Amino acid sequence: MSWNYAKAGVDREKIRVGHKAIEHLIRNTYRFRMGRFGEILEGFGHYASIIDIGGGMALAFHCDGCGTKVLIAQLMNKFDTIGIDCVAMCVNDIICVGAEPIALIDYLTLETPDEELIFNIMKGLVEAAEKTRIPIIGGETAIMPDVIKGAAPGKGFDLAASCLGLSEKNKIILGGKLEPGDVIIGIESSGLHSNGFSLARKILLEEAKLKLDDKYDRLEKTLGEELLEPTYIYLDAALLTIKRAEVHALAHITGGAFTKLRRFESHAKVGFHIDTMPEPKPIFKLIQEMGRVPDDEMYKTFNMGIGLCVMAPKRAADDVISSFEASGFRAHHIGKVVEEPGVRIKVNGRTALL
C-alpha cells in the first residue's frame, strides 16, 4: 500500500475547508477593536496575528503545540526534549512576521498528575527559554484522565503554548514585497521537527513494525532518538539576518510543509519554484521507502531537511546565507519566486505542483 497523510488520519483538504469556516466566523470579531487601541492589523491565516498597540509598535501573537510527537516521547519514556519543540514551534512562527518573541505561556494537559513527567517536560521548556532569553510568565496544567489517553499507560499528555512578540509596525514582514526573481534560501532542519508524525508513526511503527530502540540502516541514532530530535530554534539567526539583509518573507516549514509558502499569496501575486533541494536526511528516506510515499506527498507533509525558507532579493542572497551560517546553520539556495501562482518542487527530474 502507498501511504499518504489522509490514510494516516490527517486529511489536508478537510482541514483547509475547516480553516475557511473558522476564518469566516472569527473575522467578524475583529471589529471589536477597530479604531481603538489593539486594532487588528493582521489576523487569521499568517504565521502570527498582529495587533496595533500605538507608538509605531505592534504585538505578534501565536499559539502552537508539538502534535503527535508527544506519543513518541511517551513510548520512549523520555520527556526532557518535547518542551524544546513546543518553544521552537511558537518562536519560529513569531519570527516569520519579523517580530521578536518576548513572553510565553504553556498549557500542559495530563492523564495523571505525574510529578516526574511534569518536571521533565518543564525542564525542556526552561532549557529552550534560557537559549532564547524568553521568559515563561505563566500557564495552565490540567489533569483530564477522561480526555487524555496516551501511548503508554499513565503517561498521556499534550503540550501547547502561546507566544507574544514585539515589532515596530514598519518592520513587520508579511510578504507584500515579494516579487518574481527573489531567491529562496532554505535553512536546514534537525530532522522531522514536530510535523508529519501521524504519517511517520503509521508507516514506521504500525506498518513496518520497526522498534524505537533499534538502529536502522543509514540512521546515526536509534529510530526513537531520530524521531525525538528537537526542533531547531532559528530565533537569533533570523533576527540577525533581518537586521543585516533585505528580507521579503520568511516561512517556517511545519504542518503542510512547502504548501506553507502559499500563505503569502494574499499579500503578493507570486508563486514559488523550488528546484535545488539538498539531499534529505536518512529518516525521510526511511519513511518514504517503508511507506511507498509519492514524492509530492512527502513535500506536502514533511520539511524534507529544510525547516525555514527565507525569500530575499537576489542581491541579498549571499548576506542571508552567510548570516545563518555564521550562527551555525547550513543554508542553501533552493529556488526562486516566480510569476506563476502555486508551489512547484522539482524532485528526481519531475516537477510536482503542491
pLDDT of amino acid 70 = 98
Q: CATH number of the domain that 74 lies in?
A: 3.30.1330.10
**Residues 326, 275 within the same domain:** yes
Local structure of 47: helix, strand or coil: coil
Has residue 347 been placed in a domain?
yes
Has residue 88 been placed in a domain?
yes
Q: Which residue has the cell 524521531?
A: 227
**Residues 249, 135 within the same domain:** no
The grid coordinates listed for 74 are 511517551
**Residues 308, 193 within the same domain:** yes
Q: How many residues does the chain have?
A: 354
Which of 171, 87, 98 has the alpha carbon at shortest distance from 129?
A: 87
**Residues 106, 196 within the same domain:** no
Q: Which residue has the cell 532569553?
A: 133
Beta strands (DSSP E) in 270-330 are: 271-274, 306-312
**Residues 162, 196 within the same domain:** no
123 CB neighbour count, 10 Å cutoff? 15
pLDDT tens, position by position, for the chain (354 residues)?
Answer: 788 887 878 878 888 888 888 888 898 999 999 999 999 999 988 999 999 999 999 999 999 999 999 999 999 999 999 999 999 999 999 999 999 999 999 999 999 999 999 999 999 999 999 999 999 999 999 999 999 999 999 999 999 999 999 999 999 999 999 999 999 999 999 999 999 999 999 999 999 999 999 998 889 999 999 999 999 999 999 999 999 999 999 999 999 999 999 999 999 999 999 999 999 999 999 999 999 999 999 999 999 999 999 999 999 999 999 999 999 999 999 999 999 999 999 998 899 888
Which of 120, 147, 171 is at the close of a domain? 171
* Statement: the pTM of the whole predicted model exceeds 0.75: yes
**Residues 138, 221 within the same domain:** no
Has residue 11 been placed in a domain?
no
Has residue 246 been placed in a domain?
yes
The grid coordinates listed for 1 are 500500500
Longest CA pairwise span in the chain (Å): 60
Has residue 178 been placed in a domain?
no
Q: CATH number of the domain that 320 lies in?
A: 3.90.650.10
pLDDT of amino acid 46 = 93
Burial 20-33 (b: 16+ CB within 10 A, else e): eeeeeeeeeeeeee
**Residues 155, 237 within the same domain:** no
**Residues 129, 252 within the same domain:** no
Identify the domain containing residue 93 by its residue range. 55-171
Question: What is the 8-class DSSP label of residue 311?
Answer: E
Q: DSSP of 156-192, one letter per residue?
A: -EEEEEEEEEEEEGGG---STT--TT-EEEEEEPSSS
Domain count across the chain = 2
**Residues 251, 133 within the same domain:** no
Contact 109, 157 (CB under 8 A): yes
Has residue 262 been placed in a domain?
yes
Which of 142, 171, 200 is at the close of a domain? 171
**Residues 120, 148 within the same domain:** yes
The grid coordinates listed for 225 are 532518538
The grid coordinates listed for 300 are 506536502
